[in-house]
Amino acid sequence: MQVSSNNSLLWYKLAYELEESHTKVFEAQPTIARNLSVFEEQIASIKSVDDLMDNRTILTMVLSAFQLESEIDKPAMVEKILTEDPADEESLVNRLVEPRWTKLAQALSGLKNDPFFFQNQDNVDAILEGYKTNEYEKFEGENADGVREAMYFKRLAGDIETIQQIIADPAMMQVVRVSLGLPETFQALSFDQQLERLEDKFDVTDLQDPEKIDEIIERFLIFTQVNNNDPTANPMLTLFQPIGNGEFVGPQPIQIDFSV
């Protein structure tokens, strides 16, 4: 079956419908297979934050488990977060107010004092599962724009309770912003301005309803595909262009001349 490379919604659905076969292809990739092998062989040797910082492969996998793999070249920041008490209001992680870092700090808080932290299989499994999930979503996201963000949103949206949490999470914010038809320039607004407008346009309690989550994702993927396509390549896409003051994306009204 051939699927258009720009059909975001279809690729998103296939990621779940063909998950078993896709997972086999994903885990067979050389980099993934090698990393999983290294993790299995070396994770038990990680007995301190220093050990973790000295093992780039394991550290990258740990960061990836929290969608932070892009921060691998910020060792001072990573080490500070891992060695401070996440319960301390003055700690770096609490000053960042970024949910991914918060989850990392809380999940690995025991490593700085417990040399047997990774002897606990639950701790090992949590990191491994997080790594595989994040990398699998990235793998699926290579097929079409927005798929990775949509899968992330579906997995974690139910945990969101406030608009502030959405704004603090870049992937969550992207899905909500695009699904509402808000332009990229919306991100240039101050935190308070974004908060005020989202509180007016978005009901965060919708995230407790799986059906509404799916509706948000569908709108996000449709608008993502529309915004990333050249309308001249598909005349139907000219129906979905910015209208009004440019803040929203939706069907353009069609004018028909009945005077002929």
Report pLDDT digits (tens) over 205-240: 999 999 999 999 999 999 998 887 654 444 444 444
Alpha-carbon distance of 208 to 226, in angstroms, equals 27
Residue 53 within any structural domain of the chain: yes
Residue 71 within any structural domain of the chain: yes
pLDDT of residue 156: 93
Give yes or no: residues 165 and 120 share one domain: no
pLDDT of residue 259: 45
Residue 164, judged by CB atoms within 10 A of its CB (0-12, 13-18, 19+), counts as: middle
pLDDT of residue 123: 97
pLDDT of residue 6: 63
pLDDT of residue 96: 86
pLDDT of residue 34: 96
Domain span holding position 214? 145-229
List of the chain residues with pLDDT < 70: 1-6, 229-260
Give yes or no: residues 112 and 169 share one domain: no
Give yes or no: residues 113 and 63 share one domain: yes
Please, are residues 86 and 102 in contact by the beta-carbon 8 Å criterion?
yes
pLDDT of residue 243: 41
Q: How many domains does the chain have?
A: 2
pLDDT of residue 112: 93
pLDDT of residue 227: 81
Residue 247 within any structural domain of the chain: no
User: Within 10 Å of residue 49's Cβ, how many Cβ atoms?
Assistant: 18
Residue 162 within any structural domain of the chain: yes
pLDDT of residue 254: 36
Residue 41 within any structural domain of the chain: yes
pTM for this prediction = 0.79
Residue 234 within any structural domain of the chain: no
Q: Residue 136 belongs to a domain with what CATH number? A: 1.10.3700.10
Residue 48 within any structural domain of the chain: yes
Report the b/e string of 115-143 with b at 16+ CB within 10 A. Answer: eebbeeeebbeebbebbbbbbbbbbbbeb
Give yes or no: residues 22 and 121 share one domain: yes
Q: Tens digit of pLDDT for each residue in 93-126?
A: 999 878 899 999 999 999 999 999 999 999 999 9
Give yes or no: residues 32 and 131 share one domain: yes
| Of 250, 224, 252, residue with least CA distance to 7 | 224
